[in-house]
Amino acid sequence: MATQSSRATARLMLAPSVIMLFVWMIVPLAMTIWFSFRIYRLLSPDRTGWAGIRNYTWFFNSPDFWLGISNTLLLVGGVLAITIIFGVLIALLIDQPVWGQGPLRILVISPFFVMPPVAASIWKNLFMHPQNGLLASAAQGLGMEPILFLQSYPLGSIIFITSWEWLPFATLILLTALQSLSSEQLEAAEMDGASALSRFRFITLPHMTRAITVVILIQTIFLLSIFGEIFTTTQGGPGSASTTLPYMIYKQALIAKDIGRAAAGGIIAVILANIVAVFLMRSMGKHLDT
């Protein structure tokens, strides 16, 4: 159907996006690679020169590095697990015959509209604060010691806050998928004596595979670069307990002011993100084909 000229036009229409995205990606990346092999400290600007691979070895030898990687994976994996499991449960609940489904959806989607710094600061101050937080008051009301959420369970608290932000996204996509499931199939299975659990296992869940795939793909992209939530709540602490790899890079750049090391960390993060990306795209690509 496409003629020679329409192909040429199509390429022309595609060009601005491709070129802009390429420049947007390659220029900072090239600069980062360059910096990563240089001695570049803002606190001692007269010391310059090549660093070889010392910036990289510093990262690999730092105990924070491996902690940062495991924290990143725990954060992404934890939020994915929580949002998908509760997303499926809540979607199943809202999909039941209930009064006021419209208002219900509006309530459930609301956290998605709250910008990350606000969400983090609400949870940190109004809820998790050890003296004045609502959760502390609740604990005292029950005669218990208030839990020091951000001190004792920093990463867990951040996973919780982030899950609250992303739960609406997962729930609504899963709900959309559920609503396209034909009820006849479920009824037929019910008449044949299939239990509620096996109806869910063999009919509902397979129907939602594609929606779950979309949730995993999109959330992973956004979760890998989580920043505002950590910055507002724990600043990566106490110690390095809630420092992820991106946050560790941020600390190197803006607190230690060592641009060379931050750049090396950045390149490592880009490589790791690409491994995750390839893995995701491979396994997700199958489900997304139309």
Partner 1 sequence: MARAVTPRRKLFFTLAAWTVALLIFFPVFWTILTSFKTEASAVATPPQLFTADWTLQNYSDVWARSDYPRFFLNSVIISIGSTLLGLMIAIPAAWSMAFVPGKKTKDLLMWMLSTKMMPAAAVLIPMYLIFQKTGLFDTRIGLVLALMLMNLPVIIWMLYTYFKEIPGEILEAARMDGASLKNEVLYILTPMAVPGIASTMLLNIILAWNEAFWTITLTTVNAAPLSAFIASFSAPQGLFYAKLSAASTMAIAPILIMGWFGQKQLVRGLTFGAVK
- State the binding string over 136-175 for partner 1 (x if CB under 8 A, else -): -x--xx----------------------x--xxx--xx--
Start-end of H helices in the chain: 4-36, 54-61, 63-95, 101-109, 116-121, 134-141, 149-152, 154-179, 183-191, 196-199, 205-207, 209-223, 228-233, 245-254, 259-288
Dist. CA 254–CA 262, nearest whole Å:
9
State the burial class of residue 68 (Cβ atoms within 10 Å of its Cβ: 0-12, 13-18, 19+).
buried
Q: How far is the CB of 65 from partner 1 (least distance, A)?
A: 14
Contact segment (CB under 8 A) with partner 1 among 43-51, 56-64, 123-131, 147-155 equals 123-131
First to last CA, the chain: 20
Q: Which of residues 86-105 bind partner 1 (CB under 8 A)?
A: 90, 93-94, 96-100, 104-105
Q: How far is CA 230 from the centre of its chain?
A: 12
Q: Which of residues 210-249 bind partner 1 (CB under 8 A)?
A: 210-211, 214, 218, 221, 224-225, 227-228, 232, 245-247, 249
Q: Which of residues 14-33 bind partner 1 (CB under 8 A)?
A: 14, 16-18, 20-21, 24-25, 27-29, 31-32
130 part of the interface to partner 1, by CB under 8 A: no
44 part of the interface to partner 1, by CB under 8 A: no
Q: How far is the CB of 131 from partner 1 (least distance, A)?
A: 8
